[in-house]
A and B are shown apart, each in its own frame.
Chain A
């Protein structure tokens, strides 16, 4: 279950993004979403019916794309608009993927570029162009379905979807309390160009600072590591991509398949190590 306040102005797009975001957890667990229920908090008196209709239409369109049936839902009147879904999916008990289970030598594959938190902050500040808004909207509304289906053809040790904790926050969860470390090759991490631009101008959301502060003990980086890139690596993502742990020998084939199906920015971004236990080394 996942719901949040609007991150884009367009109600239909907000609905699409909220649905893609809610469905993502099921995909990250190797499951197939089947049914969903809407969760709505809505200021009907001040906003009227039309935006709500559009939000629900956007959500329904993405559910349809996910072959997931909308069973119903619940709405309450609220001063602040919120929308999301509760999603139920199926997965064979032996094929459930979690964020635990990375093995030393595994490669980490990321399927969407980072930067939605920073760009959404710039949108709030009225700085992003229509073109940027469109691009980040489409990115957030893109389902992780295809990536999950491709992933199912490989032996995957662990998987998670990148959301509020940012890339490094989610990696920290994957290795926290284990005897493994992770090395990230920063120059290979896919990043939206605008995130770099707006990050350099100081449009970094509070969440990125909090994520970084929370995990600072776990992250090792050279002294001259680019501070903007570091913030991007901690940038909270809305409906981010999958982070997939797989055997090194499979990694390039997995990325090739992803590219072949139009997930063009997928990349191997790092690997799991026996050394640096419980640490994330940034290169």
Chain B
């Protein structure tokens, strides 16, 4: 038998996290886990099964001994993979970056250049990875959420991957674009204030 993990004295979710850590870091084929309550027994068993292990357990006095063996490549590998994407996102989700786009033009000097820079910025912003939490479009920026936006497809793609996108309702009305918005929700100043307060970092592009 490979590694033995003693999770006695711990309550949920600690035992599962302990086992998860070992499974992901060492890729052990055989693991034994000791727990001292039925809730942990069920949770750890369920976790190991979800990662493709076949599991048996037996009781030794107050302690349950869970023995797990990784099945041959089949379902186990797939089960692991399915959870991987969501998890990568989650593990890296320690920061929340809010990007406020207050114009359809990046910087001042030359508006034609500014528009090009803005397109380039919004296409490149995905490099922030899962830190990118929200993009809020205000003032002239709301034009970038409408059907004529040169980055509409990119924004729609970001939204699909979980980035929250909002356009300022007052601004859409001001430009008479309310009916033309093609991506994201509509927001108001109270929500914008709350979002800027909640974010770990706010980047304003104007």
**Using a CB–CB distance below 8 Å, which chain A residues touch chain B?**
10, 12, 121-122, 124-131, 134, 197, 199-206, 208-210, 213, 227-228
Contact = CB atoms under 8 A, between A and B. Distances in A.
B75 interface: no
Interface string B175-198: 000000000000000000010011
Contacts of B90: 126-129
A131 B96 CA distance: 11
B46 A200 contact: yes
B204 interface: no
A122 B162 contact: no
B129 interface: no
B13 A121 contact: yes
A205 B37 CA distance: 12
B158 interface: no
Given A202-B44, A203-B43, A129 B93 contact: yes
7 contacts: A12-B194, A201-B50, A202-B42, A202-B43, A202-B47, A204-B46, A205-B12
B127 interface: no
A204 B39 contact: yes
A201 B46 contact: yes
B12 A121 contact: yes
Nearest to B44: A202
A129 B43 contact: no
Most buried by A among B47, B87, B90: B90
Interface in B12-30: 12-13, 16-17
A121 B15 CA distance: 12
A213 B42 CA distance: 13
A203 B90 CA distance: 15
A204 B130 CA distance: 26
Contacts of B89: 129
Contact of A203 (B16, B37, B133): B16
Interface residues of B, number: 30
A200 B43 contact: no
Contact of B50 (A124, A125, A129, A200): A200
Given A121-B12, A122-B13, A124-B13, A202 B87 contact: no
B13 A209 contact: no
Contacts of A210: 39
A126 B46 contact: no
Contacts of A126: 17, 90-91
A201 B16 contact: yes
B62 interface: no
A200 B82 CA distance: 12
A209 B183 CA distance: 43
Contacts of B130: 129
B87 A127 contact: yes
Contacts of B60: none
A125 B133 CA distance: 20
A214 B107 CA distance: 64
Contact of B13 (A10, A125, A129, A213): A125
Nearest to B95: A130
B83 interface: yes
B50 A209 contact: no
Contacts of B145: none
B39 A201 contact: no
Nearest to A228: B46
Nearest to B45: A202
A53 B133 CA distance: 25
A203 B47 CA distance: 8
Most buried by B among A121, A131, A213: A131
Contacts of B87: 127
Interface string B62-101: 0000000000000000000001001101110100100000
Query: Shortest 5 CB-CB distances between A and B: which pairs?
Result: A202-B47, A202-B43, A209-B39, A202-B46, A125-B13
A125 B194 CA distance: 26
